[in-house]
Structure 1
Amino acid sequence: MTAAIQFYTNPMSRGQIIRWMLEELGQPYETHLLDYAGSMKSPDYLALNPMGKVPAIVHDGKVVTECAAICVYLAACFPEASLDPRPEERADYYRWLFFAAGPVEAAVTNQAAGFTVSEERARMFGYGTYDLAMQTLESAVTGRDYVCGPRFTAADVYVGSQIDWGLQFGTMPDRPAFRAYAERLRARPAYQRAKDIDNALIAQMKSAAEKQS
């Protein structure tokens, strides 16, 4: 019997990306819920991830952190899920997955924090400017169903989560290409299962907090 993947998360975190990836994978996994003020900073968890952040997984005795890395790792470890790229898809798969993990993540975070890159300093930043990063990301999902073309891959879990959240929270512009892409992803059964699980956990956490207050 295959050992369950150990999944460390908080439903109000980027752990939602990995929940979705695990649901797409169809492999057994065990969820370990951590809270920000306590267990996420505990010695036991810091031994797994010294950053004290979620998500993280443990598989075959190995720890993997960082959402993009976890998605790539799981897709490679479980090829039967067909989430890994085919040879002709590898260029787009790696290009856009890591573009989203690097320049897009930095651009969106800085923009949300109120930091704007001046024109004369743009070349110092990997994303150049927020507008350039959004324009480039838009090109990845324009004229195709998924990042690699007609087929859904693990890259869509990560890139799609970035766009899905960006539209939901207003940290990305509401452009037709982004909206159409997000709607395709939201229709996936694994996406819906993952959201149902995390939304139920969030509701339980809020209810417990209200009872304590």
Structure 2
Amino acid sequence: MITLHHCPQTRSMRTLWLLNELEIPFQLRSYPFDRSLRSPEFLTLSPAGRVPALEVDGERMFETGAITEYLCERYSPDRLGRSTASPDRMTWLVWLHFAETLSQHVAALTQQHVMLYEDHMRSPIVMKLEAARVGKCFDAIEARLSTPIESRDYLLTSGFSAADISVGQAVYMASHFVRLGGYPALEAWYERITAREGFKAALPNGGGIYSQDFYAPWPLE
């Protein structure tokens, strides 16, 4: 049996979306994004007190990249994953882990806009820098999807994969701070992948970190 320990609108949404796409049985245990993640019980699942944490047949995993690789290798090596024999294996790994590069900048923006409640704690400079770094990540995705040779429907030439899930979830989070307009290939790809039932089922059903669809740069100019 698989159990996913999850907080809405966090990196664990990546794993939830993947499990939905895999269409395998799993249990979902949701937590508020609060100090409950620092409880002794939860720290036995994830020693840094972060989600996702995954239990699989009595074993425990944390870190989204490792979880994604494991689940794909075990349950979908050639549909959502790419086996070592696949020409797209290298590219699959690169984009799978690129999601974490984007997520680091989103985490900094989330802290600045959402988690720091007092205005004096926030830094407009940090917000500007991190938003610019998200923009650079968007540039990279745009370039990948719109090469001079051919445009791609998905990040891999061979089609939809867990790389689209991982990067797509990171873009979902990033779009709360940086708009997708101006990135036509990225925007079309994002609309395509978020129309999937697996993504829709991973969206929060109430609650979540973000109370707004978009957080404008602060302070407002």
TM-score by length of 2: 0.73
**Counterpart Cα distance in 2 of 1:164 and 1:185:** 11
- Count how many residue pairs are aligned between Structure 1 and Structure 2: 186
Q: Which residue in 2 is equivalent to 1:125?
A: none
Deviation >6 Å, runs of 4+: none
**Counterpart Cα distance in 2 of 1:73 and 1:92:** 17
The Cα shift of 1:89 comes to 1.2
**Counterpart Cα distance in 1 of 2:76 and 2:133:** 37
Structure 2 segments unaligned to the other structure (5+ residues) = 113-124, 212-221
The Cα shift of 1:129 comes to 5.0
Q: Which residue in 2 is equivalent to 1:202?
A: 207
**Counterpart Cα distance in 1 of 2:161 and 2:188:** 17
The one of the two structures with greater contact order (alpha-carbon pairs below 8 A, sep at least 6) is: 2
Pair 1:147 & 2:152 matched: no
Return the letter of the residue paired with 1:78.
Answer: Y
- 1:81-96 → structure 2 map (5 Å cutoff): 82-86=79-83, 87-96=86-95
Q: Secondary structure at the match of 2:172?
A: helix
The Cα shift of 1:67 comes to 2.0
Q: Which residue in 1 is equivalent to 2:121?
A: none
TM-score by length of 1: 0.75
Q: Which residue in 2 is equivalent to 1:135?
A: 139
Q: Which residue in 2 is equivalent to 1:123?
A: none
Residues 17-46 of structure 1 show CA distances to partners (whole Å, capped at 9, x for unaligned) of 211111001111111122333532221111
Q: Secondary structure at the match of 2:152?
A: coil
Q: Secondary structure at the match of 1:53?
A: coil
Q: Which residue in 2 is equivalent to 1:120?
A: none
Q: Which residue in 1 is equivalent to 2:177?
A: 170
The Cα shift of 1:134 comes to 3.0
**Counterpart Cα distance in 2 of 1:157 and 1:170:** 19
The Cα shift of 1:109 comes to 4.1
Whether contact under 8 Å (1:108, 1:172) holds in the other structure is no
Return the letter of the residue paired with 2:58.
Answer: G
Pair 1:24 & 2:21 matched: yes
- 1:178-189 → structure 2 map (5 Å cutoff): 178-189=186-197
Structure with the bigger percentage of helix: 1
The Cα shift of 1:193 comes to 2.5
Bigger Cα displacement from structure 2, 31-40 vs 183-192:
31-40
The Cα shift of 1:93 comes to 0.5
Pair 1:13 & 2:10 matched: yes
Structure 1 segments unaligned to the other structure (5+ residues) = 118-127, 207-213
Whether contact under 8 Å (2:109, 2:177) holds in the other structure is no
| TM-aligned CA distance change 1:186 to 1:109, over 3 Å | same
Q: Secondary structure at the match of 1:63?
A: strand
Q: How high is the sequence identity, in percent, across the aligned residues?
A: 27
**Counterpart Cα distance in 1 of 2:202 and 2:93:** 24
Q: Which residue in 2 is equivalent to 1:99?
A: 98
The Cα shift of 1:111 comes to 5.8
Q: Which residue in 2 is equivalent to 1:71?
A: 68
